[in-house]
Structure 1
């Protein structure tokens, strides 16, 4: 499977991660099956943002309310690994719910996409950049 994202959105994600070398950035991905059409940066409210991320629950709830009201669906989220590679960490795997959500992980000036296919497990998705 693959995930499509515009070159502009991808550039914004990589730039956001590069601008925060000491803490994980995070946010939401919006769109439809296999397509990321919009992104929204969210506050990382984790107790230790240098090593983990937690999307601000208020932002997450608001995004789901907008989707129920006819807005774009939340298809996943993104976060960075400031001193690591863009691959799921054991902490990421512990948070994977097996719900089909897309996880874009940023690290080392690169972005890779992963899909949560079962509790604790991911499969890598090919990232198709358009535009």
Structure 2
């Protein structure tokens, strides 16, 4: 299976990582049916955001409420690795649930998409194929985008 992602969404995420090179930026991936149509930035509330991430609970709750009201579904999340490594860390594996959610890891101008499960890297991650989909509507991205960190 190939996950399709909006170029505007991915460019926005990569821009956040470039604008904040010393911390792990993070947020939610929204969409459905193998398509990532939106991203919602979240504050990183981890104790040490230079090497870990934790999505702000209020952002997560708001996304769940919006999905219940008919908005896009949370399909995963993204975070950056300031080290440049696009591979999930052992800390990432400790935090991951084997629920099939997507983990987009970005650094600089590069990214890798992973899917959680019961096998694979660290017994948790399998590499996911992805491609751009410029047909995805991105109008909601601008309206849901909070200020950059």
TM-score bracket for this pair, using the shorter chain length: over 0.9
Structure 2, unaligned runs of 5 or more: 135-149
Q: Deviating runs (4+, > 3 A) in structure 1? A: none
- Scaled by the length of structure 1, what TM-score is found? 0.95
Counterpart CA distance in 2 for 1:50 and 1:103 is 18
Counterpart CA distance in 1 for 2:66 and 2:8 is 23
- Alignment check: 8 A CA contact 1:104 1:114 kept: yes
Q: Which residue of 2 aligns with 1:123?
A: 126
Counterpart CA distance in 2 for 1:40 and 1:87 is 22
Deviations 1:94-123 (A, max 9, x none): 111001110000024201110011385011
More strand by share: 1
Post-superposition offset of 1:8:
1.3
Aligned CA-pair RMSD: 1.2
- Alignment check: 8 A CA contact 1:96 1:118 kept: no
Post-superposition offset of 1:80:
0.2
Q: Which residue of 2 aligns with 1:110?
A: 110
Counterpart CA distance in 1 for 2:75 and 2:116 is 11
Post-superposition offset of 1:126:
0.8
- Scaled by the length of structure 2, what TM-score is found? 0.84
Post-superposition offset of 1:87:
1.2
Q: Which residue of 1 aligns with 2:5?
A: 5
Counterpart CA distance in 2 for 1:33 and 1:115 is 14
Q: Name the stretch that deviates more: 108-117 or 23-32.
A: 108-117
- Alignment check: 8 A CA contact 1:28 1:42 kept: yes
Q: Which residue of 2 aligns with 1:43?
A: 43
